[in-house]
Amino acid sequence: MKIGLLNGGGDCPGLNAVTHGVVGAATQLGWEVIGFKEGFEGLLSPGSFKVLKNEKTEGILRMGGTILGTTNRGHFSGKVGEGGVRKIPKELMEEAFTTLRNLDVEALICVGGDGTLTTALQFDEEGFPVVGVPKTIDNDLAATAMTFGFDSATQTVVDALDRLQTTADSHKRVMVLEVMGRHAGWIALYGGMGGGASSILIPEIPFSYEKVAEALAKREANGFRSGLVVVAEGACPVGEDLLYKDTSTGGEHRLGGIGIEVTKRLAELTGKETRCTTLGHLQRGGSPTSLDRILATRFGVKAVKLIEEQRFGRMVSYQQYHVGSVPIEDAVRQLNLVDPDGEIVQAAKSVGISFGD
């Protein structure tokens, strides 16, 4: 049997570990794996694939990036605007199906976030067997408790805060760190707690600049020389609109710029020297953590198992320490957002972290 494998959307630590898991499990069954380059776009370009042998993927689980490449642009972008779904033209899908059939590929594993899985769902609805694997550093897919890449991105935030703390203390500054996450605050919340932030601003809790400034003033009155403020790119002040870097990409709009605005406003309100750092794609790069390597490998193995059982149209899912599966349709239906009244937010507030509310 031949199966296909592709990555879609943004890059993410752990993608190569998924490939390692898929190829290893498929080899045990005597199957062949065809890896398509640059996501779904590889289905439109003759020769844009590689045969993935077990001996060629043995050491890749520790590598960042992806040996197959990926893209969040092109003919198969499944998302438009803010959460809108783009219907893939039937003739385009037929062209992709022809490529798969000519290579004798009987099922396709699609690794990606909600955009990639939205396209995968359309493949399934048109009759081609697919299995989804959730991939996003944002941890915002509701049908799985965790996605690989999230732990690695969070560790990058913690490392950055550790470094910013020393320079903040040296100059008695407020350091603002803008992180990724789109409309979910998981990276900011976990990274901020792990890195000792004094304030964490997330999309799920509209904030007040004055409240954040008050929290910083209270810290200073208690003898603290500096402050660390983590702000998610999708965080929004009460009564104001989201800030975007770019709304002309044709796909999902790019958030960004709130870190600079927070820096400017806090400097005005506190009178303290305030600086901004935007981590950006540093959160996507580098080697995955051990947790992400193991989780991604398990996801790859489970995807192969679903094909063996002919349970198509499903996405690998991690719940209560167990790797199972759910219908892809359930995975793309809603986002996994931080509960403002949840235990982890309350724990953060109990140790004095301000959310600006």
**For the CA atoms of the chain, what is the radius of gyration?**
22
Residues marked active site are found at: 138
Kindly give the interhelix angle for 114-125 and 90-102, rounded to the nearest 10 degrees. Answer: 80
Q: Which residue has the tokens 């590889």?
A: 42
Burial of 101 (0-12, 13-18, 19+ CB in 10 A): exposed
- Tokens coding 258: 């709130």
C-alpha–C-alpha distance, residues 68 and 195, integer Å: 33
Residue 122: Cβ within 10 Å count: 20
Amino acid at 320: Q
Amino acid at 5: L
C-alpha–C-alpha distance, residues 122 and 93, integer Å: 9
Strands (E), 281-352: 314-319, 322-327
C-alpha–C-alpha distance, residues 313 and 302, integer Å: 14
**What is the strand order of the sheet 227-232 is part of?**
199-201, 227-232, 174-179, 274-278
- The DSSP-derived string for 207-240 is B-HHHHHHHHHHHHHTT---EEEEEETT--BTT-
